[in-house]
Structure 1
């Protein structure tokens, strides 16, 4: 049987990852602080803390992979056929540069990667809320697609 205090702490660990929307790296700092201060008190808190932190680290890994693909492709596609004089002439650079003839397979890959990133952030938010509800009910929840960095 899981005590109410343990349920509340585990729920707060999951919900503290949402601080990323207000405080940079809050999704790592606050769960680690709460988990490390309470992990020896309860196996339930320890398990939920590890799951929340591992999920956040996994999301960071997936985000970095998406950025490594998308950012260089966008930079390359923007500056591929552009000279400094085209930008400095006062012409509307964006409208002149982006039209259907300039869209290549690699740009489509970058767009898909950005859409995948947005999808990951939405799924991350939903899974955090779901894991918080499970922890509040005293149930164990393991996030999908999580690499176990902390065992």
Structure 2
């Protein structure tokens, strides 16, 4: 196994593709994780953290849709999710460059 901090950083930052393509922020980290998890040291851990975060945020987004009808609470939830989509990949990219473990709050562990 080789160490490739740049690829780990790019994997975290690739989530920001959602703001450009809509779905690329899920597909690119998934492909990178599937193809490099056995080759790059730490990719398995970082990839799982990213995918668990992405799946969790998608579920929270689905929950927010009906909450829009309830006093507009869903809109606040969607704004919070958009903020999380922007901030946490950047924070964890910096952590990856410093050899720290990723930390995505509010993530449900789907992939162990």
Instruction: Normalising by structure 1, report the TM-score.
Output: 0.68
| DSSP-derived class of the 2:100 partner | coil
Q: Say yes or no: does 1:61 pair with 2:59.
A: yes
**Partners in 1 of 2:55 and 2:42 — Cα distance?**
20
Q: CA contact under 8 A between 2:64 and 2:73: conserved in structure 1? A: no
Structure 1 residue runs without a partner (length 5+): 74-105
> 1:142 is matched with which residue?
103
Where does residue 118 of structure 1 map in the other structure? 79
Residue 19 (1) aligns with residue 17 (2): yes
Alpha-carbon shift at residue 43 of structure 1 (Å):
4.2
Instruction: Give the CA deviation at 1:48.
Output: 0.4
CA distance in 1, matches of 2:92, 2:62: 24
Question: How is 1:2-17 mapped onto 2 (pairs within 5 angstroms)?
Answer: 3=3, 5=4, 7-17=5-15
Moved over 4 A (4+): none
Tell which structure's C-alpha radius of gyration is larger.
Answer: 1
Instruction: Tell me the distance in 2 between the aligned counterparts of 1:142 and 1:126.
Output: 12
What are the Cα deviations for residues 35-72 of structure 1, in whole angstroms up to 9, with x where unaligned? 111000134111001111110111100000001322xx
3-state SS in 2 of match to 1:22? helix
Indicate yes or no: 2:79 matched with 1:127.
Answer: no
Q: Give me the TM-score of the superposition, normalised by structure 2.
A: 0.90
